[in-house]
Structure 1
């Protein structure tokens, strides 16, 4: 599962939509998103690494009972995100990121792209407190529901990854951005509708 797929799944885990905003001549209706575009086609991310691949095989392989070809369940997405962040040592406590490890890992993997490292590190940093608040709201809503199913994994990691990739998308370095109308519309929607941190 690519980071952009995790991004799309994580959107389902509690990213709220706001109201109308204007971007240039285009009216953005935050209740009606534009046609989905794979964020990685607009803003190249770091791609899959070995850790993400191993987590995808382990978590998605264990969830093979769900319908084939469809997106994973929210619980499976939460477990996948948790596996990726804990295996990468990006989380040091249940709801606390280790920003030093994140910067160090990204710097080692992308030593020739400091703009990417800075954009991603800033996105993680900005998203940590927002993700903690979203998790608290999510857990509060879940407690209010009478028929709740126990979760195997905390949604915190998925919320962090969803927010991080939205922040990265909004602040994509120029050399990683694809200039076209569809990408511009997607960026306007994400930016104007308050998605991310």
Structure 2
């Protein structure tokens, strides 16, 4: 599974698990703009062996977007294998920053943006998980990891470092929509 597909799955999870509330008047939050691959606007961290191995284990060789349940299990596998989860509903923020700093030692702007996104998303994700758990619906995998990743990639997209951002009309519109419609944390 490519990082772009993982990012797209995270965005889909973020949309599926996030309430939409309009924060501005410029964009109609009930009518999203044409879908743009977020990684074409804001380059992510590139290929990740952990994500690839989890995708092979959870999804296999299947093409197309996975189901919400499969994406939830993929997110859980990625965060657990990366040792980003400290407790079932708590991130290990020191491990996250350390891991990102090691992998991207030459790009502190990326490390800072991702670490800030994880930090901002943890409490919001805990609240969303509590609301989901009240529905009494049983989940094969905990939605916490999926909520965290969806939120984190939305926050990263909204605060994309300048050196990773593609300046064009489609990307600007997508960023305005995500920011004004309250997607992410």
TM-score (normalizing by structure 2): 0.93
For structure 1, the residue ranges without an aligned partner over 5 or more in a row are none
Distance change >3 Å, CA 12–CA 188, structure 1 → 2 = closer
Deviation at 1:75, TM superposition (A): 1.0
Q: How many angstroms apart in 2 are the aligned matches of 1:8 and 1:117?
A: 20
**Is 2:4 aligned against 1:5?**
no
Paired residues, number: 182
Offset from partner CA, 1:18-65 (integer Å, 9 cap, x none): 13723xxxx20011110000100000010221000000000002xx7x
Contact 1:14 1:159 in 2 (8 A): yes
Partner of 1:167: 155
Q: How many angstroms apart in 2 are the aligned matches of 1:172 and 1:70?
A: 26
Distance change >3 Å, CA 45–CA 96, structure 1 → 2 = same
Query: Which of the two has higher C-alpha Rg?
Result: 1
Deviation at 1:71, TM superposition (A): 1.7
TM-score (normalizing by structure 1): 0.88
For structure 2, the residue ranges without an aligned partner over 5 or more in a row are none
Q: How many angstroms apart in 2 are the aligned matches of 1:40 and 1:185?
A: 15
Q: How many angstroms apart in 2 are the aligned matches of 1:129 and 1:12?
A: 18
After TM superposition, which residue ranges in structure 1, 4 or more long, deviate above 4 angstroms? none
Q: How many angstroms apart in 2 are the aligned matches of 1:17 and 1:57?
A: 32
Offset from partner CA, 1:90-132 (integer Å, 9 cap, x none): 0011000000000000000000000000000000000000000
Contact 1:119 1:168 in 2 (8 A): yes
Contact 2:17 2:147 in 1 (8 A): yes
Contact 1:9 1:77 in 2 (8 A): no
Contact 1:30 1:189 in 2 (8 A): yes
Q: How many angstroms apart in 2 are the aligned matches of 1:195 and 1:8?
A: 9
List aligned pairs for 1:47-196, cutoff 5 A: 47-61=46-60, 69-140=63-134, 142-143=135-136, 148=137, 150-196=138-184
Q: How many angstroms apart in 2 are the aligned matches of 1:19 and 1:110?
A: 35
Deviation at 1:12, TM superposition (A): 4.3
Partner of 2:40: 41
Contact 1:13 1:155 in 2 (8 A): no
